[in-house]
Structure 1
Amino acid sequence: MSIFTGSGVAIVTPFTADLEVDYAKLRELIDFQIENGTDSIIICGTTGEASTLTHEEHLDCIRVCVEHVNKRVPVIAGTGSNCTKTAIYLSQEAEKSGVDALLVVTPYYNKATQNGLKGHFTAIANSVNIPIILYNVPSRTGCNILPETAVSLAKEVSNIVAIKETTENMSQVAKLMKLADGCIDLYSGNDDQVIPLLSLGGKGVISVVANVAPKLTHDMVVKYLEGDTSGALKIQLDLLDLADAMFCEVNPIPVKKALELTGFPVGKLRMPLTEMEPANAERLAKAMREIGILVK
């Protein structure tokens, strides 16, 4: 059984004026997402600025999320690291908090070999008893999970059950799904490629855009899975300009600005991330207005 089908939001981590984690605002964001159809909450991923959180903050965010969601939808915690020992620690602590699954990114900067990736992910998976989603995002990590490696892991390690693909190489994704023959679930990590990945057998999306357009993102996936491919395609095409604007600067700079523009401020970004350039912020606001998102 899939961890979830539909739209999972890669939720931001809100900060107070002095850049402490704003747990009250996080609870508000969670409620907003669930009330608008989001099918899963992904906490402490790239969009959640996990790389700038202390381990204590990281685990506190996970605990607060699990407690506040209270089983309404699955909670998936980002627990990856470029250090296998650290990833095991975070994964074990997240499991103790009651998360439904883990999202584990490739070990960035180290640029492990394919055998290194197999060893890394196997060690993490063997340290816990909950499902794991592999996270392949070569543009940010300099490391690519090849289809053969992902399929080998899924077949050999019982709790490695899915992969979030954020590669631009659709041929690689197609090869993955051919080799997998159903042994691994697929989630899109690119908001502009949801329909193509669903057409290859994907179960949904782990979305940045869903932070500000949760219902549209949910509806797009549901329509496709229910057979309304033309309706799903229309939403995908309608969302393209917003998806592009969301990544005109490094994520999560634009998505935090987008939430601010809707009147739902979530605080600044921790360094080394900086505020969005004014011209890009206007581009983002224009894309939001075009699909009916109220910009205040």
Structure 2
Amino acid sequence: MRALIGTGVALVTPFQKEGAVDTEALTRIVNFQIENGIEYLVVLGTTAESATLTAEEKELVIQTVIQANQGRLPLVLGVGGNHTAQVVHELKTRDLSAFTAILSVSPYYNKPTQEGIYQHFKAIAEASPIPIILYNVPGRTSSNMLPATVIRLAQEFSNIVAIKEAAGDIVQAMQLLQHKPAHFHVISGDDMITLPMVLAGGSGVISVIGEGFPKAFSDMVRLGLNRKVDEAYAIHYQLADAINMIFEQGNPAGIKEVFMHLGLSENTVRLPLVNVSSDLSQRLKQFVDAFPL
């Protein structure tokens, strides 16, 4: 799964001002990623506001990205949830032929035990026709998928090939890197600690800031993978303020504000999300205007 080495981005779903999915803007965003060095694209993750999309809108997003991509980059599809049987049904019925892997989040809200998390992903592994990236994001799911559970899954199911680790805990990430099977990828899901994770042995990132500043962020990750530490950290510190700002008032409101200032899409989000404040919008504009894209 060398396709998962480097920088992937969790694509937003751009909306028109009146709220409809903006397929023209989504096409521009896909091309912006490809033209600026991103290695793969993640469709319908959390950043895509997938929880607020209808089934028809999800299909529209998928087909728009496939058409815009034209086979140029590997695609990863978000297929997850807290209803195991429903996720299994989607895996058995959806056409996944355009995708390299799925990204599947640890069950949220239910707060399962580690054994429950294991059994959930066991069922997914037995159903999925393509490789699986686990997704651990305790800040959203209210439960932490512990390294022992991840390693158990990675050892027992050959189609579980990676984890997007977004606990924001570098020690936990290092435990994964220390004990993982050789074939298994540990991918950062936290933009601020992406470079330390890469330097510790991680394979890269699935990023939010990376889609706003794809050339710089993907360059940073490649420099890190090539052990060019000083050059990589120079870019990290160039982007650190922007990373903080885009998450200051929620994701994807922050990154959508960046896209608006870049002229790629509107900044529209769907309730219960709201736009960032005028103060944050102005600070993001100042950063975008000053940053050497």
Under TM normalisation by the shorter chain, which class is it? over 0.9
Contact 1:164-1:206 within 8 A present in 2 as well: yes
Most deviating of 149-158 and 94-103:
94-103
| Aligned-partner Cα distance in 2 for 1:148–1:86 | 26
- In structure 2, the CA distance between the partners of 1:165 and 1:122, relative to structure 1 (3 Å rule), is same
RMSD across aligned positions (CA):
1.6
The amino acid across from 1:36 in the alignment is: N
Residues matched between the structures, number? 293
SS of the residue 1:239 aligns to: helix
| Aligned-partner Cα distance in 2 for 1:105–1:96 | 17
Question: Which residue of structure 2 lines up, in the alignment, with residue 259 of structure 1?
Answer: 259
Contact 1:59-1:93 within 8 A present in 2 as well: no
The amino acid across from 1:114 in the alignment is: Q
The amino acid across from 1:137 in the alignment is: V
Deviations 1:146-204 (A, max 9, x none): 00000000111111000011112211111111121424201111111111110221111
Tell me how far 1:233 sits from its aligned partner.
1.1
Question: Which residue of structure 1 lines up, in the alignment, with residue 273 of structure 2?
Answer: 273
Deviations 1:236-280 (A, max 9, x none): 111100100011011001111111111222351111111111122
Following superposition, which runs of at least 4 residues in structure 1 exceed 3 angstroms of deviation? 89-97
SS of the residue 2:248 aligns to: coil
SS of the residue 1:162 aligns to: strand
| Aligned-partner Cα distance in 1 for 2:287–2:267 | 21
- In structure 2, the CA distance between the partners of 1:266 and 1:90, relative to structure 1 (3 Å rule), is farther
Question: Which residue of structure 2 lines up, in the alignment, with residue 157 of structure 1?
Answer: 157
Question: Which residue of structure 2 lines up, in the alignment, with residue 166 of structure 1?
Answer: 166
Question: Which residue of structure 1 lines up, in the alignment, with residue 5 of structure 2?
Answer: 5
Contact 2:106-2:141 within 8 A present in 1 as well: yes
Structure 2: runs of 5+ lacking an equivalent:
none
| Aligned-partner Cα distance in 2 for 1:65–1:94 | 16
The TM-score, its normalising length taken from structure 2, stands at 0.95
Tell me how far 1:131 sits from its aligned partner.
0.9
SS of the residue 1:287 aligns to: helix
Tell me how far 1:283 sits from its aligned partner.
2.6
Question: Which residue of structure 2 lines up, in the alignment, with residue 190 of structure 1?
Answer: 190
Equivalence map 1:106-121=2 (5 Å): 106-121=106-121
Equivalence map 1:28-107=2 (5 Å): 28-107=28-107
The amino acid across from 2:225 in the alignment is: L
Q: Does 1:228 align with 2:215?
A: no
Equivalence map 1:17-32=2 (5 Å): 17-32=17-32
Contact 1:66-1:97 within 8 A present in 2 as well: no
Tell me how far 1:207 sits from its aligned partner.
0.8
Deviations 1:201-242 (A, max 9, x none): 111111111221010011011112223221111111111001
Deviations 1:17-72 (A, max 9, x none): 32121222211211111011111011111111111111232233223322331221
| Aligned-partner Cα distance in 2 for 1:105–1:6 | 20
Contact 2:91-2:129 within 8 A present in 1 as well: no
SS of the residue 2:122 aligns to: helix
Q: Does 1:292 align with 2:292?
A: yes
Question: Which residue of structure 2 lines up, in the alignment, with residue 200 of structure 1?
Answer: 200
SS of the residue 2:133 aligns to: strand
- In structure 2, the CA distance between the partners of 1:59 and 1:143, relative to structure 1 (3 Å rule), is farther
- In structure 2, the CA distance between the partners of 1:133 and 1:31, relative to structure 1 (3 Å rule), is same
Task: Write 1 or 2 for the structure with the bigger share of helix.
Answer: 2
| Aligned-partner Cα distance in 1 for 2:246–2:285 | 10
The amino acid across from 2:235 in the alignment is: I
> Sequence identity, in percent?
38
The amino acid across from 1:274 in the alignment is: V
The TM-score, its normalising length taken from structure 1, stands at 0.94
Contact 1:19-1:267 within 8 A present in 2 as well: no
| Aligned-partner Cα distance in 1 for 2:94–2:243 | 30
| Aligned-partner Cα distance in 2 for 1:148–1:183 | 17
The amino acid across from 2:136 in the alignment is: N
- In structure 2, the CA distance between the partners of 1:277 and 1:205, relative to structure 1 (3 Å rule), is same
Deviations 1:275-295 (A, max 9, x none): 1111222232233344335xx
SS of the residue 2:191 aligns to: coil
Q: Does 1:143 align with 2:147?
A: no
